[in-house]
Structure 1
Amino acid sequence: MEVQQILHMNGGNGETSYACNSKLQKLVITKAKPVLIESISDLYTTNLPPCLRVADLGCSSGPNALLVISEIIEAIDQICHQLNRNMPEFQVFLNDLPSNDFNTIFKTLPSFHEQLKKEKGEKFGPCSITGLPGSFYDRLFPSSSIDFLHSSYSLHFLSQVPPMAESNKGNIYLVKTSPPSVLKAYLEQFQKDFSLFLSLRSKEITPGGRMVLTMLGRRSEDPFGKECYFWELLSKSLIDLVSEGLIEEAKVDSFNLPFYMPSTKELEAIVCAEGSFYLDQLEIFDINWDTSDDDDNKELISDRFISGQKVAKCIRAVAEPLIACHFGDAIIDLLFSKYMEYVSDHLSRSEGKYVNFIISLRGK
C-alpha cells in the first residue's frame, strides 16, 4: 500500500492517540517560535498584505494543530499595535494527508474562533481556516498565492519507502550493518523529495514570501549516528517478536520506514542546488527523548521506567499506523511494551536526544 494512504498519526483522543502523546512536537514548536516570529514579522512589515495567506503543511491533529496559527496571529497583532494599523484578514490552510484526523481539528474551530474574538475584540478581521487534504509532494495551491508556509515535524517523512536493491535485513531504518546501497537509496530519496518540495512551494509562494520548517536531523555526517538509535530499538523489539514466533523474519526484512534524518550539509546542499530559496537561518537544538527532562521547573526524574513509557507512547502515536498495516494490529501492544523496556534500559545507562533543525527560507 502507498505511504500516502497509511501515513498518519493515531487519531482521536484516546490513551495512544497523537493528541495525548505529542508533547515532543509541542516543545519543538515552542523552541522554534523565535525564528517563526522573526520570519512572519519581517514578511508582514515588508509587504503589509491586507490578507495574510498562511499554510501549515503536515498539521496533523490534536492540540498542536492550531498552535502555530495562534502564534502568528499574536505576532501580527503586536506589530499592528506598534504601527497603529488595523489587523489584516487571515486565510489559513491546514494541510495533511487524506488519512489525517481532520474531524478532530474541525471540532475545535468554533472554540478557537470564539477565543480569538474574546482576546482580540469584535473588530478582529475574518480568519478563514480550511482543511486541505493532500501530499505536500504534489502541488497544493495556485501560483503565487501563499505568503507564509510552515511545516513542523513532517519533512523527515519521505514520499515513499526508498526502492532498494538489497535487503536492509533485520532493520527498519539505517544502522551500521545496513548495506551501502540501502544508505544510498535513503539519501537519494530524501534528496529527490526535499528538492521536489522546494520546487513546488516556490511556485505557490508569493514573491518574497517566507517559509519556516522544522524537522529531525543529525549533527554528525555519519548516517548511522546515535541520533537514529530510537528506531534501532524498535527494530530490536520486532526481532524479539520474530524469536518468539509471533511474526515472520521475512516480514521484518521487508519493512522499512519512509523516513530520513539529514545532516546540515545535506540540507544546505539541496537548498543550494534547487535554487528557489535563500537560506536565511538554519539552527540546531536538542530535545530529550523524555520531554519532561527538558522542563526547567521539574524535580530530577530518576525513574527511567516512567520515561520509557512516555517515549514508547510518543513513538507509537506516530508509527503505529505504518506498523499495523504491515504486521497487523495483534502485535502492537506487545511490540511497544518491549520497546518501552528497551528505551527504559537505554535511558538508565545513557541519554537519548532528538536533534532538531529549524530552517528559515525566503523566496527569490
Structure 2
Amino acid sequence: MKVAEVLHMNGGMGETSYANNSLLQQHVISLTKSIREEAIMSLYRSKHPRSLAIADLGCASGPNTLLVVSEFIKVVEKLCRNLNHESPEYKVFLNDLPGNDFNNIFRSLDNFKERLRGEIESEIGPCYFSGVPGSFYSRIFPNQSLHFVHSSYGLQWLSKVPENVNNNKGNIYMASTSPSNVLTAYYNQFQKDFSLFLKCRAEELVEGGRMILTFLGRKSDNMFSKECCYIWELMAMALNDMVFQGIIKEEQLDSFNLPHYTPSPSEVKLEVMKEGSFAIHQLNVSEVSWNSLECESQMSESHVDGAYNVTQLMRAVAEPLLVSHFGENIIEELFNRYKKILTDRMSKEKTKFVNVTILLTRKP
C-alpha cells in the first residue's frame, strides 16, 4: 500500500463524507484557539510583515478547512486597526495529499471571502489562496517562505506502514496483543517521519516563524494504551468477526496495518529537542469524548446516536484505506458491525480521544 496514493478523507458532501462527519475535529480546533491567537499576535508584533504566508498542512476538505485561516486573518486585522497599521496581504497555502478533495475547497473560496469581509466589517488585505498537493514528510514550500504553519489531526498519519509488522496477527494497529517488535517498528517510523517533518518545516519557515501542531495522541507512556488504540481495536474486532464467518480471508486481515501513530507529549518533545531547529513555547494535552454529538448540545446524546456518529466519523477517515485493501464490497457490513460494537462499549465506558498540541518558534 502506497500511503500517499490512498490516504485521504472521504470527499464530496455526501452522508459518509468527511465534510459532514468532522464535528469532533472542529471541536479539537476550537480547543486550541487561545494558543493560536497568542502565537499569531506575537508573530505579527515581532515581524510587522507586509505579506503574511500561512500554511495549513493536512487541510482535508469541508467546513473545518478554512477555520484557522479565518481566525488568523481576523486576529491580524484587529491588531492592525489597534496599531493603526495598513493591512498586510495574505498568502494562504492549503496542503494535503493528492487524493484530497481540493475541488470542494476551491468552490467554497468565494463564499468564504465574502463571509470574512462581512464578519470583519472593514477593508482587509488581499488574500491569495493556493492548493499544494504533496506529502508534508517532504519539502513542499520554498526556503524561508512561511510565517505560520498549522496542522491539526494530520501528523498521527505516518508516511508508510512500518516495516516488519507482518506478525501483528488479528490486529490492524498497535494493541495489547501486538508483539514487541511491532510496537518498536511503529515508534521508529514515527521518529523518522516527525524528525523529517521538523527538518523540512525548519527550512521553509522564516526565523521567528510559528508552528502549531495537534496530534491525536495519548497521555500514557504505554504505546498500546486504550487512550489511543481502543478505537482501532474495536474495528479489528469487527474485521475478525468477518474473518470467522468467512466474509474476509484471514490473510487479508493479517496483512493490513494502519500507517498511524499516536504519540505521547514526551515523545513529541523528544523529537523536537533532537532536531533542534525549534523552541517549544507550549505543550498541552486535551481530551474530547468519542461521542462527538456532545459538541452539538441540541442533538441527542444517546449511546445509539453517539455510536452512529463515531462510526460515521471513522468511516469518513478510514474508508479509502480499507477499500484499497479489502475492496468496496465489505464496507457496509464492516461499519454496521462496528456500530453495534461501539454502541455496546459506549454504553458501558467513558471513552475519549486524547490530543497533544505543541507551539513552536523557528530558532535563529
Structure 2 length-normalised TM: 0.97
- Distance in 1, Cα, partners of 2:279 & 2:122: 38
- Distance in 1, Cα, partners of 2:300 & 2:320: 34
Q: Which moved more, 1:80-89 or 1:146-155?
A: 80-89
- Distance in 1, Cα, partners of 2:73 & 2:350: 37
Please give the per-residue CA displacement for 1:55-87, whole angstroms capped at 9, x wherever unaligned: 000000011111110010111111112111121
Amino acid at match of 1:265: S
Amino acid at match of 1:245: G
Quick one: structure 1 residues 181 and 75, their matched pair in 2 at CA, closer, same or farther if it must change by over 3 Å?
same
C-alpha displacement at 1:123, in angstroms?
3.1
C-alpha displacement at 1:182, in angstroms?
0.2
Whether the 8 Å CA contact 2:214–2:356 is kept in 1: the answer is: yes
Please give the per-residue CA displacement for 1:203-262, whole angstroms capped at 9, x wherever unaligned: 000011000011111111011111120000000010011111111011000000000001
Q: 3-state SS of the aligned residue for 1:157?
A: coil
Whether the 8 Å CA contact 2:264–2:356 is kept in 1: the answer is: no
Structure 2 counterparts to residues 62-211 of structure 1, below 5 A: 62-120=62-120, 123-164=123-164, 166-211=166-211
Please give the per-residue CA displacement for 1:284-309, whole angstroms capped at 9, x wherever unaligned: 110000122355x55883x2111110
The residue number in structure 2 matching 1:262 is: 263
- Distance in 2, Cα, partners of 1:329 & 1:156: 25
- Distance in 2, Cα, partners of 1:147 & 1:71: 15
C-alpha displacement at 1:190, in angstroms?
0.1
Structure 1 length-normalised TM: 0.97
Q: Which runs of 5+ in 1 are unaligned?
A: none
Whether the 8 Å CA contact 2:149–2:211 is kept in 1: the answer is: yes
- Distance in 1, Cα, partners of 2:164 & 2:71: 42
The residue number in structure 2 matching 1:304 is: 303
Asked if 1:241 corresponds to 2:270, the answer is no
- Distance in 2, Cα, partners of 1:114 & 1:349: 46
C-alpha displacement at 1:122, in angstroms?
6.6
Q: Which moved more, 1:114-123 or 1:325-334?
A: 114-123
Please give the per-residue CA displacement for 1:259-293, whole angstroms capped at 9, x wherever unaligned: 00011111111111111101110111100001223
C-alpha displacement at 1:344, in angstroms?
0.8
- Distance in 1, Cα, partners of 2:33 & 2:15: 28
Q: 3-state SS of the aligned residue for 1:335?
A: helix
C-alpha displacement at 1:31, in angstroms?
0.6
Amino acid at match of 1:354: F
Whether the 8 Å CA contact 1:166–1:179 is kept in 2: the answer is: no
The residue number in structure 2 matching 1:213 is: 213
Asked if 1:337 corresponds to 2:336, the answer is yes
- Distance in 2, Cα, partners of 1:119 & 1:263: 38
Whether the 8 Å CA contact 2:117–2:124 is kept in 1: the answer is: yes
The residue number in structure 2 matching 1:325 is: 324
- Distance in 2, Cα, partners of 1:221 & 1:115: 44
Q: Which runs of 5+ in 2 are unaligned?
A: none
C-alpha displacement at 1:120, in angstroms?
3.7
The residue number in structure 2 matching 1:348 is: 347
The residue number in structure 2 matching 1:292 is: 293
Segments of 4+ moved more than 6 angstroms: none
**What is the number of residues matched between the two proteins?**
362
The residue number in structure 1 matching 2:2 is: 2
Amino acid at match of 2:342: V
The residue number in structure 1 matching 2:222 is: 222
